[in-house]
Structure 1
Amino acid sequence: MSTPNTETTPLTFGHYSSAVRRGNLVYTSGLVGYHDAERTIDPDFGSQVRRTFENLEVSLRSVGATLQDVVSVNAILVHEADNAEFNRIYEEYFTAEPLPVRTRIFAGLSKGVLYEMNAQAIVAE
């Protein structure tokens, strides 16, 4: 099992890794759009989603994976009204077939956080 170098991955705020790879399987923890250890986050939904994707790319890269390896995404949105914007941004990051399967739910998140995601990937050996 490999875990990422914590100096090059998005911050975690608990006793867990941002990504773990076992063989060719990769799992990420829930990621949000935080910029730093102070938990600064942009107030608007679109910026949070884009930053979350940037954090996902860093987490995946830290264990030898990319967005193209992602097979499943779980997305959590606070407001259902943000769904159309979420879909537009999501389509910018996942462009190649086959597209990952996806589960989207609406739920409350930490203060100021409007979006969270985690992903699972399979890396070619």
Structure 2
Amino acid sequence: MKPMRCAIWTVLLTCFVATTYAQESTEVIFYKSHEPKKQNAPFSDVVQAGNMYFLAGQIGMDQKTRTLVEGGIQAETEQAIKNIEDVLDQHSLTLDNVVKCTVILSDISDFAAFNEVYTQFFTKKPARTTFAASGLAANAHIEIDVIAVK
């Protein structure tokens, strides 16, 4: 009788766990850009999976003029972060919700200058990966993407 009770409890527990997991399964939502000129882009500005938000990379482009801001790495860093703030705001998030940043510099020797600006915005110190790569979009000096949690 005891093995039978154990089997029944195992089945019931498995059903409970499976039902709970199914109810908590994460819906994935792909958001187009709020910018009219990026509506036909072949990627999403933001992908939401549960309470996590994955933002596409942002460069130091002025969204009104669609040109890179002048002033080099520090000006582009500031603009890229402001662009991130704008996208986060569309989803009722702020930089304080950011838990991970990926930073791509066109020249690793810009690291210190970039970091001076970055630390003014990201006071909670999210996890970060920084590396250099050539050929960024629009000949940008920097691109930043983030993951945020609501």
Q: Same fold (TM over 0.5)?
A: yes
The runs of 5 or more residues in structure 2 that have no matched partner are: 1-27
Which has more radius of gyration?
2
Q: Structure 1 29/122 Cα, relative in aligned 2: closer, same or farther at 3 Å?
A: same
Identical amino acids, percent of aligned pairs: 26
Q: How many residues are treated as equivalent by the alignment?
A: 121
TM-score (norm 1): 0.83
Structure 2 Cα separation of the partners of residues 12 and 47 of structure 1: 26
Q: How does 1:1-125 map to 2 (within 5 A)?
A: 1-4=28-31, 6-7=33-34, 11=38, 14-36=41-63, 39-43=66-70, 44-96=72-124, 99-108=125-134, 109-123=136-150
SS at match of 1:90: helix
* Residue identity opposite 2:69 in structure 1: D
Q: Tell me if the contact between 1:10 and 1:55 (Cα under 8 Å) persists in the aligned partners.
A: no
The whole-number CA distance in structure 2 between the counterparts of 1:120 and 1:100 is 9
Contact 1:9 1:62 in 2 (8 A): no
Larger relative helix fraction: 2
Deviation at 1:5, TM superposition (A): 6.8
Structure 1 residue runs of 5 or longer lacking an equivalent are none
1:4/1:63 contact within 8 Å kept? no
Instruction: Provide TM-score, normalisation by structure 2.
Output: 0.70
